[in-house]
Structure 1
Amino acid sequence: MSESAKSVSSYGKRSTEPTNIIAHIGVGGFSRAHQFYVLDQLEGGESSWGVMGVGIKPWDAKMYETLKRQDFLFSCNMRSEAVNEVVVVKSIVDYAPIFSDAASFDKLLEERVKIISLTVTEKGYCTTETGELDLANEDVKADVSNFESSPFQPQTAVGLICRVIEERRKKGVPTLTIMSCDNLPMNGLTTKKAVLSFAKQVGGGLLDFIEASVPFPNSMVDRITPVTSKEHIEEISERHLINDEWPVVCEPFLQWVIEDKFVDGCRPSWDKVDGVIFTDDVEGYEFMKLRLLNSTHSSMSYISTLAGFKLVFESMADKDVESFVRRYMGEIVATLEPVAGIDFAEYVNTLVERFANPEIKDSLDRLSLDGSQKFRNALAPALVQLKESGGEMKTCRVALAAYLRYCAGVDMEGKAMQCVDDPMKAGLEDVGGRMKANPEKGTCEEFLTLVFGEDLVGGWGAFVDGVFSAYLELEEKGARAMLVA
């Protein structure tokens, strides 16, 4: 008689209560597959550290309710052609559902909370194209206006962080470390800049206190994690006999490079887990990953979608797409300085293998999500260097032309196509539609400026000309032909 699946909650909570807590804003697939998984590997999941989830937006409710029903346990399924392994992760020990219970904010004032970490995606930092806090953002304005209110129900991560630091300061509770785990260039510095800008708005000496007392370590995070599907849930139940309402699926590969800068050195020994290192210089690893993995993901997603593909591994099985990806990375790698211990040719080959992993079934739609933010953070710095050096940009221009064409909302046959969400969705679809109806270089420049900003695009006629020419060729020859152009 075959064994039946059992609930993930039947695996039981950890037996030890953690003395140190990481409060994590934005519990989602990536944080669970990456940071929470790593913490669970320490001392068999019974380390002195645990995670408190923090939810501030209404959409956090579904994850909170699901995890709560499962005693905050979840399964992490690592998949490749050679590996199919499941680990039940027990590192989440509490949750502050601030979106529905403002009083739960007080959990973050407990002395055992030593670190606030966050994965809120690029748009969650509420910054402008120049990296400044967007003071015109309605959520930012609300948090500034309501900062002294009690209870405080924050709408932004930066508002929450500032209020936690301020309340701990007033109560004499030791300060904590703020650690971003998002795909942002020098994410610690980016977070610090946004937080300090918010602190300046609320005054009261908070800005000076944060500058003097609160570290913001940079980190580079890497593990491909697709959106969990119904098929994933069913397979984990059938193959691994675990019933989990919201498991997380990821590749076996994991890399985490962390700047060793924490209050009083208080942090978990994450580096005891394979793939994690502490360093005094994250920047080289960060630029390598953002430019070669993240910008490549975005750049391949739009042209692959226009060529008729839906899933990443299916597109990578096509030799023309693989060739496009390799040519693109060949152009971008020229903008990188050497990184200790990294062979770029080997790294590129590893990325191609990871993208082609047939067990992940990552969607091109996921890679297309928030494209304007991803391109600005992952590609813009490389474009600056290519502009200064006059380096090769042919494939890069094709990728951006495909992004512009994608924003028209119709495929290459003229059929309506649903574009995925983006903070600039309305503006992108407007300019994409106008470009499709009447291709003009000025419209192309408007698009590039919308994505990358006037400081980069203004006066760079060769860049605009190149993307415009690629767009016209794309319309004439089709996406398939441009993959090999």
Structure 2
Amino acid sequence: MTTKLSAQALGSITTASTPAYDRSNLKAGIVHFGVGNFHRAHQAVYLDDLFATGSDHDWALVGAGVREADEAMRQKLKSQDLLTTVVEQEADTSSARITASMIDYLKPGDAPAIIDRLADPAIRIVSLTITEGGYYIDPASQKFDPTHLDIAYDAAHIAAPKTTFGLILAGLIRRRADNVIPFTVMSCDNIPGNGHVTENAIVGLAELIDPALAQWVKANVAFPNGMVDRITPATSDREKQLLADNFGIDDAWPVFCENFKQWVLEDNFPAGRPALEKVGVQFVPDVAPYEHMKIRILNGGHATIAYPAGLMDIHFVHEAMEDPLISAFLTKVENDEIIPVVPPVPDTDLGDYYSLCQRRFANPKIGDTIRRLALDGSNRQPKFIIPSALDRVKGQQSVNGLALVSALWCRYCYGTTDSGAVIEPNDPNWDRLTAQAKLAKADPKAWLAMTDIYGELASEPSFIAAFTHALTTLWSVGTKATLERYVAGQL
């Protein structure tokens, strides 16, 4: 017997903690684009914790989006009064909570309604989790691409834009016309300098419309950088059934995640902000050291295990960590090549941080999948792996491990595992990647010819040599034997 999640049912749910505040007192203060699992396990949870302290009830969330998937999520959440069940899991514990920090969800595609809400003086922050690939940046240069067709469309139709950035800019234009203080734009995506990247996108779009508008945005709108962290797998029927079986709750799209969470933010919010420091958010003058640590060690670590595990037909991340060979491969790449080029982080031991990452990756309750980690390599490799490799090449240091990580990605994009199983498309650019991977089987340099991804690393002789040797070995002896050679120091 399960209870369908709804506001009316909250009083009868005893298997999960429920909101410790009167939701009717909440007022909107934040519009958030990209209401996916990570947002609901991270920012929405922090706000739920804050509201439970009895303060800042004027900072509730309003969801927004631009994709078909956003409408699907909206329908699911609307059917349960915008409530979400968050299940926090460690190896020996599981607990459920119901969050209520979102009070509205705007219909994707309804540009007038979204712009009206963005123009509302009550909205003082606009936040984003639109994934690494959603920022219209050139992979190699990591700079905003003003030539993208979506951006060109919005520049010509800014009164009825289709992208997140077009909507945000249209909201800012309205506020400027109404003499209302601009909201702060806060990215919550895993991108180095995510505040700067967001600013470049919005200013870049504004430049196409009116250089004076671009200057106004630069002078008046704040874009704080931030580092966010919580392992949050995709929801499937498995998670919905686990919730029903273990907690008796019927949630259309619950979120399963680890207990650990972290949020580090620059304190740059001219229009005001919620007192998130009360619930564990770190406000610091410079987020960059924390970003580098997390993106290179944790996200880079995920990328390191994703492709060999995928090629070895391993389904779950914790199963990959249980494989002695993959675990040893990860540790060697991290200790030999990634951690040594991560700048120091205040009050943090990088070795201890990596040990924490290992424990988190090995959590058997999370159910995180290798396929999720392997998703969208064309956008993730240039952020998580290639910068570390470039730093090492410039320092005349070995890149055997990072070149092998890149070669494993290439081999994965060929489209079959070592056993011959088909790998279903797992990247927005899958057709292109598969074509290049097939060329690279005979000529490894064909993979590195994607200079829009590899940038200057593609022309570095030491990386070319290491990559060529790694990919040739993978095709010659297979993934397992190649990892054995690398771990033994023979690659």
* Superposition TM-score, scaled by structure 2 size: 0.92
Q: Is the 8 A contact 2:28 2:103 kept in 1?
A: no
What is the aligned partner in structure 1 of residue 33 from structure 2? 25
- For structure 1, which segment, 391-400 or 4-13, has the greater mean C-alpha deviation from structure 2 after superposition? 4-13
Say whether residues 1:383 and 2:389 are aligned partners: yes
User: Cα offset for 1:414?
Assistant: 3.7
1:386 maps to amino acid: R
What is the aligned partner in structure 2 of residue 105 from structure 1? 115
User: Cα offset for 1:441?
Assistant: 3.8
Q: Is the 8 A contact 1:185 1:378 kept in 2?
A: no
Q: 1:434 to 1:457 in 2, by over 3 A?
A: closer
Structure 1 segment 66-465 matched on structure 2, within 5 A: 66-100=76-110, 102-129=112-139, 130-147=141-158, 149=159, 152=160, 154-203=161-210, 205-264=212-271, 266-274=272-280, 276-330=281-335, 331-422=337-428, 424-436=429-441, 439-447=442-450, 449-453=451-455, 455-458=456-459, 460-465=460-465
Q: Is the 8 A contact 1:66 1:246 kept in 2?
A: yes
User: Cα offset for 1:56?
Assistant: 1.5
2:427 maps to amino acid: D
- For structure 1, which segment, 154-163 or 395-404, has the greater mean C-alpha deviation from structure 2 after superposition? 154-163
What is the aligned partner in structure 1 of residue 42 from structure 2? 34
Q: 1:235 to 1:414 in 2, by over 3 A?
A: closer
* Superposition TM-score, scaled by structure 1 size: 0.93
Which whole-Å deviations, capped at 9, do the CAs of 1:34-88 have from their partners, x for residues lacking one?
0001100014175321000012122211100111111111111000113211110
Q: 1:157 to 1:94 in 2, by over 3 A?
A: same
Give the SS at the match of 2:409: helix
Which whole-Å deviations, capped at 9, do the CAs of 1:121-150 have from their partners, x for residues lacking one?
111111112123223322111111111x3x
Q: 1:198 to 1:180 in 2, by over 3 A?
A: same
Q: Is the 8 A contact 1:408 1:432 kept in 2?
A: yes
User: Cα offset for 1:456?
Assistant: 3.1
- For 2:344 and 2:32, the matched residues in 1 are separated by 33
Q: Is the 8 A contact 2:226 2:265 kept in 1?
A: yes
What is the aligned partner in structure 1 of residue 472 from structure 2? 472
Gaps of 5+ in 1: none
Q: Is the 8 A contact 2:64 2:114 kept in 1?
A: no
User: Cα offset for 1:431?
Assistant: 0.3
- For 1:248 and 1:292, the matched residues in 2 are separated by 25
What is the aligned partner in structure 2 of residue 51 from structure 1? 61
Q: 1:391 to 1:8 in 2, by over 3 A?
A: farther
- For 1:371 and 1:78, the matched residues in 2 are separated by 27
What is the aligned partner in structure 1 of residue 15 from structure 2? none
Q: Is the 8 A contact 2:230 2:260 kept in 1?
A: yes
Q: 1:415 to 1:237 in 2, by over 3 A?
A: closer
Q: 1:104 to 1:462 in 2, by over 3 A?
A: closer
Which whole-Å deviations, capped at 9, do the CAs of 1:279-324 have from their partners, x for residues lacking one?
0110100000000011221121111111221111111111111111
Q: Is the 8 A contact 1:177 1:263 kept in 2?
A: yes
User: Cα offset for 1:204?
Assistant: 6.0
Q: 1:361 to 1:209 in 2, by over 3 A?
A: same
User: Cα offset for 1:19?
Assistant: 4.2
1:256 maps to amino acid: W
2:3 maps to amino acid: A
Q: Is the 8 A contact 1:22 1:52 kept in 2?
A: yes
- For 2:183 and 2:98, the matched residues in 1 are separated by 29
Which whole-Å deviations, capped at 9, do the CAs of 1:435-458 have from their partners, x for residues lacking one?
23xx214314314x34222x3322
- For structure 1, which segment, 342-351 or 219-228, has the greater mean C-alpha deviation from structure 2 after superposition? 342-351
- For 1:185 and 1:363, the matched residues in 2 are separated by 24
Q: Is the 8 A contact 2:118 2:171 kept in 1?
A: yes
What is the aligned partner in structure 1 of residue 489 from structure 2? none
How many percent of aligned residue pairs carry the same amino acid? 32
User: Cα offset for 1:421?
Assistant: 2.2
Q: 1:45 to 1:36 in 2, by over 3 A?
A: farther
Aligned-CA RMSD value: 1.7
Give the SS at the match of 1:165: helix
2:351 maps to amino acid: A
Q: Is the 8 A contact 1:23 1:52 kept in 2?
A: yes
Give the SS at the match of 2:127: strand
Give the SS at the match of 2:449: helix
Q: Is the 8 A contact 1:133 1:198 kept in 2?
A: no
Give the SS at the match of 1:161: helix
- For structure 1, which segment, 154-163 or 357-366, has the greater mean C-alpha deviation from structure 2 after superposition? 154-163
Which whole-Å deviations, capped at 9, do the CAs of 1:212-268 have from their partners, x for residues lacking one?
11110000000000001112111112211221111111000001000100014x111
Gaps of 5+ in 2: 12-18, 487-491
Which whole-Å deviations, capped at 9, do the CAs of 1:132-181 have from their partners, x for residues lacking one?
3223322111111111x3xx1x3222211111111111112221100000
Residues matched between the structures, number: 471
- For 2:53 and 2:254, the matched residues in 1 are separated by 18
User: Cα offset for 1:473?
Assistant: 0.7
The runs of at least 4 consecutive aligned structure 1 residues that moved more than 6 Å come to none
